[in-house]
Amino acid sequence: MTSLERRVTISIASVFGFRMLGLFMVLPVIAMATGDYPDFTPLMLGIIIGAYGLTQAILQIPLGLLSDNIGRKPVIIGGLVVFVAGSFVAATADTMLGLMLGRALQGMGAIASTLMAMVTDYTVEQNRSKAMAMIGGSIGFSFILAMMLGPFVTGIFGLSGIFWLTAILGAFGILVVQFVIPNTSKPNFNRESMTDLQDLSALLRDPTLQRLNVGVFALHFALMAVFIGVPSILANDVGVTGSNLPWVYLGLLGGGFFLMLPVMIMSEKFAVQKSVFLVAVMVMAVAALGLTFDPTSSITLTLLLLFFAAFNLLEASLPSWLSKACPAGNRGSAMGIYSTCQFLGAFTGGLVGGWSMQEYGFDGVFGSIVCVLLLWWVFALGLQSPRPLRTLVLSVGDIEHQEFLKIISNVVGVEDILLVEGEQLAYVQVDKLVIDMNSLQPYLNR
């Protein structure tokens, strides 16, 4: 990766990590910490936990659409401000209703799609999977760290301490976006106007994007549902105690990340992404099915390791594939639809998983996961392989930027252009099958 790619990827990964750390810390403690609230009910507890995901799902598309029109940075900073405000509301709340309002307000800072679109803006295709894997790793690390810090912070400062810490982490995110990520000058060529409802309708009808959106729904359905059953299985069947549980999750999620990394690199190198993709979905389904047969402790841990390895692979592959499939100039909108499906999948997975556990026990939970994953596998058979895109680094030289953009945007095969302020370089996305390299040759290696 170039220094710019590393800088932007690490910055975006840290913003993701700050946000998710604060949100995850609540999960292991909120049920016990709110038990004596005057308006406590199990239903209100469920609404509080799900409020963030619901408002995220509602606002991902509008904010992704907005980022295509006014730029990524203003949307991201505005979303983080709203996120911090929601943390303040939750930190000062002493009722379930107040917590619900705070969590819902946190979710209104729905910037996940815009952050992912920014990654695709700054990274070349051959490095994008690495960037997505780094972001996925930061989220996974945030989850493990949150499981350790949540009870510790609550024990010292109470539940409000978690939300105050979340507000501080959100403020750090604002500083990173403002002062670490460079500004860009990015043209919206290849279309006559800004993203509108007609563009959005076209994105929703695109067969490849539909399959990817269904995929991320199913993937996060499976993730949320599996966490309903796994803690009890680890405690009752494997004998993992509370003090050891964070270390077991570290081994499963961290081990899964390192298992998937070489597989992803090889799939990109040999252009077999679709085959690896389908195998990973099936591995998740088989692992979930295996957990319904009351396996031994070692087999249970092996199945969970395979499940999370396949999950990490798919979590990194889906947004990279999406970035190659969506039309130039509509990445924010496409990522908005994608993130909406992701949060709806998480919400539905928790809802259906909880209902399945109540009605049918562990077999119901893992059975629902298997059914959703198998349906996804069948639907994914129609996926088109990623387009053969690559990014070239061109020298702008002494040419005026607008003149340079006019020249390059008219070259056959050019899909997208990114100019970075302070550098006389342009990152140009091209279709390797049709690009007119002769026209670009004067701007290469100058």
> What is the pLDDT at residue 197?
60
Q: Where in the chain is the domain with CATH 3.30.70?
A: 389-443
Residue 336 pLDDT greater than 60, yes or no: yes
CATH annotation of 202-386: 1.20.1250.20
Its pTM stands at 0.72
Q: Where in the chain is the domain with CATH 1.20.1250.20?
A: 1-186, 202-386
Highest mean pLDDT among 91-95, 254-258, 318-322: 91-95
Topology of the domain comprising 389-443? Alpha-Beta Plaits (3.30.70)
> What is the pLDDT at residue 187?
41
> What is the pLDDT at residue 15?
92
Least confident of 178-187, 201-210, 408-417: 178-187
Residue 241 pLDDT greater than 70, yes or no: no
> What is the pLDDT at residue 79?
93
Mean pLDDT to the nearest integer, 194-209: 71
Mean per-residue pLDDT of the chain: 80
Task: State the architecture of 1-186 in CATH terms.
Answer: Up-down Bundle (1.20)
Least confident of 174-188, 282-296, 307-321: 174-188
Mean pLDDT to the nearest integer, 199-214: 83
Highest mean pLDDT among 127-136, 189-198, 225-234, 288-297: 288-297
Band (pLDDT 50/70/90 cuts) for residue 446 is: low
Mean pLDDT to the nearest integer, 191-210: 67
Q: Which residue has the higher pLDDT, 58 or 170?
A: 170
Residue 368 pLDDT greater than 60, yes or no: yes
How do residues 66-101 score in pLDDT, each as one tens digit?
Answer: 887 888 899 999 999 999 999 999 999 989 899 989
Residue 26 pLDDT greater than 70, yes or no: yes
Q: Which residue has the higher pLDDT, 1 or 194?
A: 1
Q: Please answer whether residues 375 and 211 qualify as being in contact, where contact means their C-beta atoms are separated by less than 8 angstroms.
A: no
